[in-house]
Amino acid sequence: MKDFNDYIEKIENPTQKIRMKEILDWISSKYPFLEKKIAWNQPHFVHEGTFILGLSYSRAHVAIAPEHVTLIKFKELAEKNHYETTDNIIKIKWNQTVDYDYLAQMIDFNLNDKLGYKTYWR
């Protein structure tokens, strides 16, 4: 997790800091082969040079960015979890439960769908 420590340390709210660390740790342990990097001042998970998932902190929520194609494919599950969405992100409010199965489905989809991609973004 050392790749994201500086990012996590900048979060002032202790409860939110713990929650963000839990999410990043979960992804890192379930997908240890994913490269961790900070890009655009946000934690990104990358596989073979292509973006898989990004996260960012906000005072009101953690934002999950799976890319637009993936967000649309799994938008129904976001709604089922009562997560707010925009065109590019899923907002999980700090008082909401994180559906890790949902995160795994998006990550697995991106890993399969972007297999062999030579670019960072779709």
CATH code, domain with 98: 3.90.1150.200
- Domain annotation covers residue 83: yes
- Domain annotation covers residue 21: yes
State phi, psi for 53 to the nearest 5 degrees. Answer: -160, 145
Q: What is the side-by-side strand order in the sheet with 90-93?
A: 35-39, 42-47, 50-57, 61-65, 90-93, 84-85
Q: Is 75:64 a contact under the CB 8 Å cutoff?
A: no
* Strand ranges, E, within the chain: 35-39, 42-47, 50-57, 61-65, 84-85, 90-93
- Domain annotation covers residue 118: no
| Maximum alpha-carbon separation in the chain | 39
Dihedral sign for Cα atoms in the order 118, 119, 120, 122: negative
- pLDDT tens digits, one per residue of 26-85: 999 999 999 999 999 999 999 999 999 999 999 999 999 999 999 999 999 999 999 999
Q: Is 107:50 a contact under the CB 8 Å cutoff?
A: no
Total domains in the chain come to 1
pLDDT recorded at residue 110:
98
The residue segments making up the domain with residue 27 are 2-113
pTM: 0.95
- Domain annotation covers residue 122: no
